[in-house]
Amino acid sequence: MNAIEIRNLTKNFGQKQALAGLNMTVPQGAIYGFIGENGSGKSTTEKLICGLLVPSGGSIKLFGRDYKDPDVRAKIGVLIEQPGCFPNYSVWNNMMLQAANLDIPNAAEEVRKVLRVVHMDGSASNKYKNCSLGMKQRIGIAMALLGKPALLILDEPINGLDADGMRIMRDVLVDITKEYRCTVVISSHILGELEKIATHYGIVRGGKMIKEMTAEELEADCRTFVALQTKDMEMARALLERKYSRVTLENEYIRIYDDVKAEEVVAYLYHELGIAVTEVRTDKIGLEEYYIDLMNKGVC
């Protein structure tokens, strides 16, 4: 059974169509990276799943049931935009309030546990309004984890965080996926971070799902290339372009996307043309490059 199954979902805001027949399938237990440009419909889709917006058309099923089913919805944890907290309450009191909403037995123990998971156990007495952005995001995740959710929806949890905040957040997300074993949908622009944890991906554009795939499929889809540096990059590039069909200069490296071994390229440059290679490696394009390629309608 799929955790989320969306068919032909549409949402109009007046004349503007935010979602134009979006289809989405999130298998149970997946960590689903939900990717798309600003305004592509990610947040709208997430808000529709959570019942915060009313769809214009289409269907949403959660664990095989209608998304309005109260029994299912009680098992959803959400962080969309900012966490819903009262600024003058302490972190602890905000958490206890949400625990009471969910009617969680042993609320104090559960709150302590989720705060530990998000590395916030030492800041429970802080007033929410005095917390940093990173702390607020982690509080939002802790709140979403209350009641052991079967489905966790996190909208841009990494955005706006500094490098340290991002590292902590990544650790938190990894811990969550290990400890809670729930289905997680994460939307983010920071694809490098997403790539480290996601098992499935959905790429949305203009309110439509343009591609859904597993991490394995992405791996298989992503092109391998030989990246090299020489003392005379321009000359080497011009010469390589004569022999290979797909040669580019990216990030101060010459990349050859043809099916070729690194040693062959090095030998060709040195023996045939007398150009010494200073650095060479074989690599694969990452999610970010794959995504950019897809957005540019290139072939991966």
Partner 1 sequence: MQPTFEKQSFWKKLKSMLKVDFKRMFTMPLVYIMAGVSLALPILILVMTSTMGGADTNTGADAAGMFTNVWQAISSVSGGNAGMAMDLTTMCNMNLMYFMLAVLVCVFTADDFRSGYAKNLFTVRPKKIDYVCSKTVVLFAGGAIMMIAFFIGAMLGGAIGGLPFTMEGFHAGNLVACLFAKIFLVAVFVAIFFTFSVVAKQRTWLSILLSCGVGAFLFMMIPMMTPLNANFIHVIMTLAGGGLFAAGLGAVSCVILNKTSLV
Least distance in Å: CB of 299 to partner 1?
A: 38
Q: Give the tokens for residue 190.
A: 């920071």
Residues 6+ away with beta carbon under 8 Å from 72: 62, 63, 65, 150
Strand segments, DSSP code E, in 48-191 are: 57-62, 65-66, 76-79, 151-155, 183-187
Whole-angstrom distance, CA of residue 147 vs CA of residue 159: 25
27 binds partner 1 (CB under 8 A): no
- 3 state SS for 225-283: EEEEEECCHHHHHHHHHHHCCCEEEECCEEEECCCCCHHHHHHHHHHHHCCCEEEEEEE
Least distance in Å: CB of 54 to partner 1?
A: 6
Least distance in Å: CB of 167 to partner 1?
A: 26
Least distance in Å: CB of 135 to partner 1?
A: 16
- When binding is defined by CB under 8 A, the residue of 8, 57, 69, 167 that contacts partner 1 is 69
83 binds partner 1 (CB under 8 A): yes
**Which residue stretch of 91-99, 108-116, 198-206, 277-285 sits at the interface with partner 1 (rule: CB under 8 A)?**
91-99
Question: 125 phi and psi, to 5 degrees?
Answer: -85, -10
74 binds partner 1 (CB under 8 A): yes
Question: 284 phi and psi, to 5 degrees?
Answer: -125, 150
Total residues in contact with partner 1, by rule CB under 8 A: 43
Site for partner 1 in 29-68 (CB under 8 A): 29, 47, 50-54, 63, 67-68
- When binding is defined by CB under 8 A, the residue of 20, 97, 117, 210 that contacts partner 1 is 97
- When binding is defined by CB under 8 A, the residue of 39, 57, 86, 246 that contacts partner 1 is 86
H or E element that contains 116: helix 107-117
**End-to-end CA separation in angstroms for the chain:** 30
**On the CB side of 245, how many CA atoms lie within 13 Å of its CA?**
2
H or E element that contains 203: strand 200-205
Site for partner 1 in 137-196 (CB under 8 A): 143, 147, 150, 181-182
Query: Which residue's CB is nearer to partner 1, number 143 or number 228?
Result: 143
Residue 297: CB atoms within 10 Å = 7
Least distance in Å: CB of 181 to partner 1?
A: 7
- When binding is defined by CB under 8 A, the residue of 39, 57, 59, 100 that contacts partner 1 is 100
Least distance in Å: CB of 155 to partner 1?
A: 11
Question: Which residues of the chain form contacts with partner 1 (CB under 8 A)?
Answer: 1, 28-29, 47, 50-54, 63, 67-76, 78, 80-89, 93, 97-98, 100-103, 143, 147, 150, 181-182
